[in-house]
A and B are shown apart, each in its own frame.
Chain A
Amino acid sequence: MTIDWQHFTPWSALGGGALIGLAAAMFVLLNGRIAGISGVLGGLLNPTRGDIGWRIAFVAGLVGAPLAYRLFGALPVLHIDAGTGALLLAGLLVGVGTRYGAGCTSGHGVCGLSRLSPRSLAATLVFMGAGFATVFVARHVAGV
């Protein structure tokens, strides 16, 4: 294993992570809910009464974050290398998978591990393992 020192950004990673933790902390302490993005978004597709407004607000906060971020500083340039077919396949898998798996990087990874949930630890190990394996196959076996 070689560390990519050029791209490794420990301080902004820790600081950004702390902000993500702060958002999850606010959400559970104020709203009594888990800040799991797949659950918040997916719940909009079979909503129950009184359950729609806060979901839309949370998603609007995420989508609106870049706009608000610009008040404080320049936005980073994002790199998305996947083509249309790969994006469609990846999106479908992420959509179905996070709903059946009952969580994603935020719900299981951040909130679940913070709650010391064995189920979330298992889910996190599984999706990280699958992610590692997929990138290994794509980059080092298939050579995409």
Chain B
Amino acid sequence: MSPVFERRITMHIVTSLLAGLVFGFGLILSGMADAAKVLGFLDLAGAWDPSLALVMGGAIAVGLPAFALSRRRSVSLLGAPMRLPTARAIDRRVVGGSVLFGIGWGIAGFCPGPALVALGMGLAPALIFVAAMVAGMGVFALLEKGGHDDPRR
């Protein structure tokens, strides 16, 4: 490996850590790390807390120009290849998987990001959820071995 290439990989790891940190700050500040607040959004028939919709709105407002710019580039600002999803099909996998995800989200109020942040606060219920979630991802990895394909995300 050339020194330039190695430095580039180190840089990618640093920016990855930073992105994870900023993402986590956003989840904490927005209240989305709190499972009860998320369930307050999902409970349309009860006392409804619309906060999650504004979180999505705020995130998309910042994301839109960034992704518009990314579409016009073939490499990132750090020289990494752009790996944007290429899959377009709205098939049984996407719909069925999203149904299962939504049911699980509605049961506990956790999706993957907030669960990892809650885990970082040392909360035992978050540990239980994350362990089961990783096991579920492991089931996919076992059944779909070799079919792993990054750009599908």
Contact = CB atoms under 8 A, between A and B. Distances in A.
A81 to B, nearest CB: 6
The B contact surface, by secondary structure, is helix
Interface of A: 1-4, 6-10, 12-39, 41-43, 45-46, 48, 50, 53-55, 57-69, 75-76, 78-82, 84, 86-119, 122-124, 126-136, 138-140
A20 to B, nearest CB: 4
Interface residues of B, number: 122
Given A22-B62, A105-B113, A130-B106, A14 B57 contact: yes
A134 B43 CA distance: 9
Contacts of A25: 62-63, 65-67
Contact of B98 (A12, A14, A127): A127
Given A14-B54, A29-B70, A94-B133, A62 B20 contact: yes
Interface of B: 9, 12-37, 39-40, 42-52, 54-67, 69-71, 75-78, 80-85, 87-90, 93-113, 115-121, 123, 125-126, 128-141, 144-145, 148, 150, 152-153
A62 B119 CA distance: 9
Contacts of A123: 90, 94-95, 97-98
Nearest to A88: B132
Contacts of A15: 29-30, 58
A87 B66 contact: no
The A contact surface, by secondary structure, is helix
A101 B94 contact: yes
A124 B53 CA distance: 12
* Residue among A13, A50, A130 facing the most chain B CB atoms (10 A cut-off): A13
Contacts of B131: 91
